[in-house]
Amino acid sequence: MESVLAVKNLSIDFLTPTGSVHALRDVNLSIAQKRIVGIVGESGSGKSTVVSAVMRLLANNASVHSGEIEFEGRNILAMKEQELRALRGEEIAMVFQDPMTAQTPVRSIGQQMMDIQYRRSLSRKEKRENAIEMLNRVGIPDSMDRFDQYPHQFSGGMRQRISIAMALMMNPKLLIADEPTTALDVTLEAQIIHLFRELRKSFDGSIIVVSHNLGLIAELCDEVVVMYAGEVVERALVDDIFYRAAHPYTQALLNCDPARLGELTQELPTIPGDVPDLQEVPTGCIFASRCDQITDICTSVRPPTVTVNSAQDVRCHLAANA
């Protein structure tokens, strides 16, 4: 299948006064058309760095060490600022975590949604109609009346819906949702998940969902990319991840989720140890210091990425030797 986005061997360092932090190392992933791909990982796993790189919104102290990000055959990393402006919001759009700060407070929702269409040669009336239609699609009641209201007049759940409407306004080929439900209550989270499913029927683009919430990933995604400490440790279809996880980190992460504990327990499972220091990346497997299935080779040789079960990529010696 043709991919919309392909990240190839991406390595990114952050330069700090105490040395380089190797935040991403040899990250590979691809997003096929009309697919929803989840990027899951804990804090410091590099999932936000990946999406920032795709949007070319990396912090000033970031340096791309190697790799490419291909979007429909064009390398995003080589684009000029002008090309990027045509890309962002139009071909790749983003929904941010915190709906309370994602919109400007000084312009009405309607004005902001019309602003987004500034490249389209349409009349004001047509732009307004487009915007109202989009607000209807994301389930804003009385969208005609509320069109001229300001962000503070909407609740958190409504504002996240508006963020999604704004992101979809230009019908992007790729939508990136960064922790889209983390700031919301569980009832609103369920509503937003439902909204994404509904939108999927009419939206032709691909979606990346970045989250640490395994529930959200299981509910929404077709494929999952699991990241740990700056590396992709496993990539597979959603069922393979949840039922046949091959990497010990994926297995441990799933085991830790209290929502997955079949039986009632007093002792909640954890992953002992800490994420390694990424200034001096350990030789061998990145997860070796916390892995419960460690072998001799794990601390000395970095494992290759191997394919198991036909479409499941795993960076682990156990899978390589199986």
Partner 1 sequence: MPDLLNITDLGVRFRALAPLAALLERAEDPWIDAVLDVSLRIKPGETVALVGESGSGKTTLGRSIMGLVRPQKGSIQFEGAELCGLSEAAYKPIRRNIAMMFQDPVASLSRRRSIQAQVSEPYKVHGIPTSDRETDRLMELVGLNSSFRDRFPHELSGGQARRVGVARALTLSPKLIIADEPTAGLDVSVQGEILNLMRDLQKKLGISYLVVTHNLPVVQHISDRIAVMYLGRLLEQGDTQSIFRSPAHPYTRVLLDAVPQPDPAKRRELTSIEGEVPSLRARPAGCEFHPRCAHRQEHCRSEPPEPQSLADGRIVRCHFPLALD
Footprint of partner 1 on this chain (CB under 8 A)? 42-43, 155-158, 185-191, 193-194, 197, 212-219, 238-239, 242, 252-254, 256-261, 264-271, 274
At CA 229, angle to CA 41 and CA 33, rounded to 5? 50
Q: How far is CA 48 from the centre of its chain?
A: 7
Is 106 or 259 the residue whose CB approaches partner 1 more closely?
259
Place of tokens 């991919």: 3
Report, in Å, the least distance between residue 156 CB and partner 1: 8
- At a CB cut-off of 8 Å and minimum separation 6, what does 62 contact? 12, 13, 14, 15, 23, 49, 52, 53
Cα–Cα distance for residue pair 315/303, rounded to 1 Å: 6
Compute the least distance from the CB of residue 213 to partner 1, in Å.
7
Minimum distance from CB of 190 to partner 1 (Å)? 4
Q: Which is nearer to partner 1, 1 or 268 (CB)?
A: 268
Phi-psi label, residue 117: left if phi above 0, alpha if psi -120 to 50, beta otherwise:
alpha
Residue 218: count of CB within 10 angstroms of its CB: 19
Q: Provide, rounded to whole angstroms, the least separation between the CB of residue 122 and partner 1.
A: 33
Question: Within 10 A of 238 (CB to CB), how many other CB atoms are there?
Answer: 18
**Minimum distance from CB of 40 to partner 1 (Å)?**
10
Q: What whole-number distance in Å separates Cα of residue 139 and Cα of residue 42?
A: 31
- Quick one: 208 or 236, whose CB is closer to partner 1? 236
Q: Which residue is listed with tokens 């790749």?
A: 92
Q: Which residue has the tokens 């691809």?
A: 30
Nearer to partner 1, 193 or 297 (CB): 193
In this complex, which beta carbon is closest to partner 1, that of residue 157 or of residue 284?
157
Taking the complex as a whole, the smallest distance from the CB of residue 296 to partner 1 amounts, in Å, to 25
| Cβ-based nearer residue to partner 1, 53 or 158 | 158
